[in-house]
Amino acid sequence: MTILSKVGGASGPLYGSAFLAMSKAIDTDTLTENQLIEALEAGLAGIEHRGKSHAGEKTMIDVWEPVVNALHQDELSSDVIEAALQKTKDLKATKGRAAYLGDRSIGHLDPGAYSSALLFHALLAQEEAN
């Protein structure tokens, strides 16, 4: 709940919603790969529901969705994460705080997508370390 109320901008409530949804999707102390994917799917759904958004609107969803899809295909890599992030540069923000910038948002990475990319790079690094 702290994330929901303390992190600034649109990201706080969105991450809070994602993590709450993920925690509800996990019913065990040990996490299998399939449970991780299910948890991330639930997190993505939480973000979509809270933000009333979907992929292509220059949000963190533009990173979460390709990551979940890559996990389903057992193809998650740093390149997949980075490609998803870089795609946000050419989009016009239509949701979140960046939407106020309109056309000026084009040519810049979405901050929520960037922080999501950091999250998934860390997840991937942890997986590779094990």
Total residues belonging to the chain? 130
- CATH code for the structural domain at 2-129: 1.25.40.340
In this predicted model, what pLDDT tens digit does every residue of 7-56 receive, in sequence order? Answer: 666 788 899 999 999 999 988 777 888 999 999 999 999 999 999 999 99
Binning the chain into helix, strand and coil, the percentages to the nearest 5 are 70, 0, 30
Question: pLDDT at position 91, please?
Answer: 97
Judge contact between 32 and 19, C-beta under 8 A: no
Query: Euclidean distance between the first and final Cα of the chain, in Å?
Result: 30
Residue-level pLDDT at 73: 97
Report pLDDT digits (tens) over 59-73: 999 999 999 999 999
What gap in Å lies between CA 98 and CA 102, rounded to an integer?
Answer: 7
Domain-by-domain residue ranges, the chain? 2-129
Q: Say whether pTM exceeds 0.75.
A: yes
Pull the structure tokens for residue 31: 């996490």
pLDDT, tens only, 84-122: 999 999 999 999 888 899 999 999 999 999 999 999 999
Q: What's residue 3's pLDDT?
A: 53
Residue 4 has pLDDT above 70, yes or no: no
Rounded Cα distance, 119 and 115, in Å: 6
